[in-house]
Amino acid sequence: MYPMVELKLRSGGHQTSFSELLLLALAIGGGIAAVVILLIIFVSCRRCKKKTLRQLEGNEEAPRKERKDPTVW
């Protein structure tokens, strides 16, 4: 159906097929994706930590309000 295409790069007499280039591209893309995912996890953990610390600091600064017992008339 389709003619078979083979891409050959010469580097010191070594030929590289398209499937080898595709495998290399997938490996590089997977490595980049892994780094991006780790970076997203790291940044989201830092944001959660800062948010939690801000909430704790806010709780310490504001005095607790005493609630009235609704069962007492």
What are the structural domain ranges in the chain? Answer: 10-61
> 25-56 burial by CB neighbour count: b if 16+ within 10 A, else e?
eeeeeeeeeeeeeeeeeeeeeeeeeeeeeeee
Q: pLDDT digit string (tens) for 50-60?
A: 888 877 776 65
Note the pLDDT tens digit of each residue in 8-43: 666 555 677 888 889 999 999 999 999 999 999 999
Distance CA 23, CA 31 (A): 12
Strands (E), 1-73: 10-11, 14-15
Tell me the whole-structure pTM to 2 decimals.
0.52
